[in-house]
Chain A
């Protein structure tokens, strides 16, 4: 199974400042035949199901604010919130969908400083 490890486990950022979350996979999730990274990012607010933000490591889902961006390739990935808003307080998860079983990182809790 591919193990996904996020860092940090939590972070507190001031409103309007940048938040950066890292995700590392135990093996590459880059599919060479199509040059796509099978990596997604989800946002989960309290009492709600996860919501897809980013797929193919860097493609923003329709309707997701452009302050959210994803980057990285192979085994190392980053989710960046360029200017943190109050409504961004949540737990963020990365997920690899390269192979079965699909696996998630342990989550990163983002709070307001």
Chain B
């Protein structure tokens, strides 16, 4: 069974940092692009970042460029999102998702909540 489990969320002050992790299992992690997608409380879905199978290509939502960094450790079957310079508007549930068919997200993890507040 394919499984994605996120961790690392929490409460942080504006300007602070957090590192999210996603542990993957049940599939060959090294053969898939991976992504982070977020959902602000009561709002819709917003793609954040994606990374190629070998980590050689990374793409970001414009509003997080220069602040967030996506990475992966294929030896640990893990995906990461380093978030620096956090803003109140970054408050959301962050989902880890596997990418198939170019840019389709399936499946998704259960998500981890990031709250940016003073």
Bound form: Cα–Cα A52–B104 in Å:
9
- Which A18-71 residues sit within 8 Å CB-CB of chain B? 38, 40, 42, 48-52, 55-56, 61
Contacts of A40 in B (CB 8 A): 104
Segment from B7-15, B19-27, B43-51, B74-82 that makes contact with A = B43-51
Known: A95-B104, A97-B104. A104 touches B44 (CB 8 A): yes
Bound form: Cα–Cα A26–B46 in Å:
17
Bound form: Cα–Cα A95–B106 in Å:
12
Chain A nearest CB from B102 CB (Å) reads 6
Are the C-beta atoms of B105 and A52 separated by less than 8 Å? yes
Interface membership of B32, Cβ < 8 A = no
Interface residues on A, range: 20 to 34
Are the C-beta atoms of A103 and B101 separated by less than 8 Å? no
Bound form: Cα–Cα A110–B68 in Å:
34
Are the C-beta atoms of B109 and A97 separated by less than 8 Å? no
Contacts of B108 in A (CB 8 A): 49-51
- Which B89-118 residues sit within 8 Å CB-CB of chain A? 95, 101-111
Given A38-B102, A55-B104, A95-B105, 8 more A-B residue pairs with CB atoms under 8 Å apart are: A40-B104, A42-B45, A50-B108, A55-B106, A56-B101, A95-B45, A99-B103, A107-B45
